[in-house]
Amino acid sequence: MRKLLSLLLALCIALSVCVPCFAAQNTAQADKLNSLGLFKGTDKGYELDNPLTREQGVVMIIRLLGKEAEAQEKNLAHPFEDAKAYTWVGPYLGYAFENGITKGVSDTKFGYGDKMTDAMFLTMLLRVLGYQDKDNGTGDFKWSDPYKLAKTSLLSDGTKRDPFLRDDMVAACWNALTAVRKSGGKLSADLIRDGVFTAESFRAAAGTENLTAPKMTTLGPSGEIDVVPPSLREFITKAEKVYANGDNSKAAKLAEDKFEDIKPVNFKWKCEEPEKFADPSIFSIQLSQTADFAEYRTIPCTKFGKTSGEQAEQVYNLYTDATYYWRVAATLADGSVTYSEPATFTTAAGPRIVFVSGVKNFRDQGGWLTSDGTRMPQGRVYRSRGLESAISVGVKTMMEDLRIVSEIDLRDEAKPQYGAPATSLDKSLIHYYNYPGNSYAKFINSPTVSAPSFRVFADPTAYPIVYHCQSGADRTGSIGFILGAIAGVSETDLFIDYEITPDRYVDGTKYTFPEFLTAFRALDGKTTQEKARTFLRTAGLNEMEIYNIEMMMKNDAAVVLSPSDPPKAESGKVTFTIDPRASGTVTAVKQGGTMLPFTFENGTLTVTVKSGTTAEATFTDGTKLPLEWK
């Protein structure tokens, strides 16, 4: 709808068909289009018995795209000498030429006054609905033969007409408003949304027969479901027993090399009187984590049981340990939406394995229980193997469903045997960082190597983040261990998280993760969380960076923006940019035992300092955020 599709009208001019002409039959449709401002006729009326001309067809298409006002406002120039004397059509041809709707019959001739064929006009309408004519063997239909698809999409009865009359045009255009768009929904709803006409005026034109609401019933899922693959669930149960005493030496013998594929959840629903609502594109599933559906994920319906009315849609990548609400939505031709009664279900706790087509070992960092009794938030950080194997559907999952903002690639060009840096994501759409990493004891004993990666995790604007090496095991696992530790995940669960990676199960003589544990346990601190903080300090991160990482791994407490670049104190004052998130407002700022004057407004914290370079801000919820300045 928003992206105009190019049209090779010059190729269509040679088409001819031979079917008898017939008298106007679609005055009612012409009246409806006229009431919506889409069809205005001529100074002699509708002239439905006259053949459609090329310029009339282009004008009608621009109106159906909702671009008439824009075309007239821009009044773009066009190169067609044979049409320049007809100033009324100039803005339309200028807009059509600029946006690839028409190229004319030559570089300087449009073919003003020539007849437009049915194939030509139906092709344009199908493109308006999102279909593509075949080019080099691809597409939905042949531009020279649009009749079958036009019938299937309810634009026409599929009969060829020569000449193609204005009467035929208004019938096809009215059908286009309520026909099936390839991407789902109705063209009329888009035009209402864009303000071309109102929902009320469309309802008045359409009549109730086109706006009957279907009755829909949700069938499942309900209750509690487990989205963790069974073999992984079995592995976790065994691993919990082995790791309970801190012994990691038997890890390589706990599981087979591969876990089974991730399974989707089937959402089932039923539509009453299916023969009346056989178009699946008007239906979608809305999936929310709140009962009021304030935010929801939309899953378009792709099939429909024309006899039974029953439908099932597969959904991947649900959160674990979550409550979901879902309903079926039906978008009517006037843009209004009707819903089924909502249903609810919960998912069992456990690691969230993510399905990204073409990529194995992709999973959420979150879901693990922390020392304060909460779980690491999901949907913020993902770990994986290399992403270059992702196919287009997988890339879409990462960009549209997971909404990846940043990618950290831990591979080193100097060590191609461990995989060379590469990505399947568009680097113009994400922040891409190539920071070669270490693993095992070398990771702990050379902390500054991983400092650039952890600084990405300290930036709240970098999320959601995906980080990976080649297999997603050792370099990735080392980073993941620290991220989990800083959140307060138990050492046992950190063992399990490390070992979930299927590629990690290798010959015991090569199994060197115990070296990592020995080095990690030697760090200062009584808990894994304290040891992780020590590691990050040794790597050179400041307290604001360490605090930010911890908060991003744990909850929605306030964070400071740009923590890696502490502000400079000037004239006895220092200013921080804060995202308070769920923490409320700043209630106090202390430097040692001294209260400091401050202001906090619209995320800007300005503190009057006395001496030193550190302080602490306290928020309404009790959060204590460290402050550092130069």
Query: What CATH number corresponds to the domain at position 581?
Result: 2.60.40
pLDDT exceeding 90 applies to what percent of the chain? 56
Domain-located, residue 335: yes
End-to-end Cα spacing for the chain: 52
Work out whether the CA dihedral 67, 68, 72, 78 comes out positive or negative: positive
The total number of structural domains in the chain stands at 4
Cα–Cα nearest to 588, from 546, 620, 541, 553: 620
Same domain, 97 and 235: no
d(CA 487, CA 104) in angstroms, rounded, equals: 64
Same domain, 508 and 444: yes
d(CA 574, CA 567) in angstroms, rounded, equals: 7
Q: Are 621 and 630 in contact (CB under 8 A)?
A: no
d(CA 478, CA 484) in angstroms, rounded, equals: 10
Same domain, 141 and 61: yes
Q: State the pLDDT confidence band at 511, using cuts at 50, 70 and 90.
A: low
Same domain, 19 and 45: yes
Phi, psi of 528 (to 5 degrees): -60, -35
- What's the mean per-residue pLDDT of the chain? 86
Q: State the pLDDT confidence band at 1, using cuts at 50, 70 and 90.
A: very low
DSSP 3-state assignment of 375?
A: strand
Cα–Cα nearest to 216, from 324, 331, 344, 347: 331
Same domain, 279 and 247: no
Residue 268 CA to its chain's centroid (Å): 23
Same domain, 395 and 416: yes
Beta strands across the sheet bearing 594-595: 594-595, 586-591, 614-619, 624-628
Q: Which residue has the higher pLDDT, 615 or 186?
A: 615
Domain-located, residue 3: no
Model pLDDT, residue 218: 94
Last residue of a domain, which of 323, 347, 371? 347
Please report, as a single letter, which amino acid is at residue 339: Y
Q: Which of 165-179, 218-232, 492-506 has the lowest mean pLDDT?
A: 492-506
DSSP 3-state assignment of 424?
A: coil
Domain-located, residue 238: yes
Phi, psi of 165 (to 5 degrees): -90, 160
Check whether 621 has a pLDDT greater than 90.
yes
Same domain, 238 and 296: no
Work out whether the CA dihedral 157, 159, 160, 161 comes out positive or negative: negative
Beta strands in 221-296 (DSSP E): 223-225, 265-271, 283-288
Same domain, 478 and 576: no
Structural domain range at position 285: 216-227+264-347
d(CA 321, CA 375) in angstroms, rounded, equals: 9
Domain-located, residue 440: yes
Cα–Cα nearest to 489, from 353, 373, 347: 373
Check whether 195 has a pLDDT greater than 80.
yes
Last residue of a domain, which of 525, 554, 583? 554
Q: State the pLDDT confidence band at 194, using cuts at 50, 70 and 90.
A: confident
Q: Which residue has the higher pLDDT, 492 or 186?
A: 492
Asked if omega into 280 is within 30° of 0 (cis), the reply is no
CATH of the domain at 342: 2.60.40.1220
pLDDT exceeding 70 applies to what percent of the chain? 89
Instruction: Please state the rounded mean pLDDT for residues 484-488.
Output: 97
Same domain, 338 and 364: no
Any residues with CB less than 8 A from the CB of 108 and at least 6 apart, and which?
Answer: 79, 80, 81, 82
Domain-located, residue 2: no
Which pTM does this prediction carry?
0.73
Domain-located, residue 1: no
Domain-located, residue 195: yes
CATH of the domain at 405: 3.90.190.10
d(CA 521, CA 529) in angstroms, rounded, equals: 11
d(CA 485, CA 571) in angstroms, rounded, equals: 40
Domain-located, residue 4: no
d(CA 458, CA 547) in angstroms, rounded, equals: 8
Q: Are 439 and 478 in contact (CB under 8 A)?
A: yes
Q: Which of 207-211, 420-424, 488-492 has the lowest mean pLDDT?
A: 207-211
For residue 626 the two structure tokens come to 């460290």
Q: What letter would DSSP give residue 326?
A: E
| Cα dist from 527 to 227, 340, 531, 547, whole Å | 31, 50, 6, 16
Q: Which of 311-315, 414-418, 474-478 has the lowest mean pLDDT?
A: 414-418
The pairing of strands 323-331 and 283-288 is antiparallel
Phi, psi of 576 (to 5 degrees): -115, 145
Q: Are 48 and 30 in contact (CB under 8 A)?
A: yes
Any residues with CB less than 8 A from the CB of 143 and at least 6 apart, and which?
Answer: 8, 11, 12, 119, 123, 133, 134
Last residue of a domain, which of 533, 554, 575? 554
Model pLDDT, residue 73: 93
Taking only the tens place, the pLDDT of each residue in 516-555 is 888 999 999 999 999 999 999 999 999 999 999 999 999 9
Q: State the pLDDT confidence band at 91, using cuts at 50, 70 and 90.
A: very high
82-103 exposure pattern, b = at least 16 Cβ within 10 A, e = fewer? bbbeeeebbbbbbbbbebebbb
Same domain, 622 and 520: no
The pairing of strands 614-619 and 586-591 is antiparallel
Same domain, 515 and 565: no
Q: Which of 53-67, 161-175, 264-278, 388-402 has the lowest mean pLDDT?
A: 264-278
d(CA 11, CA 15) in angstroms, rounded, equals: 8
Same domain, 70 and 56: yes
Any residues with CB less than 8 A from the CB of 373 and at least 6 apart, and which?
Answer: none
Taking only the tens place, the pLDDT of each residue in 542-593 is 999 999 999 999 999 999 999 999 999 999 999 999 999 999 999 999 998 8
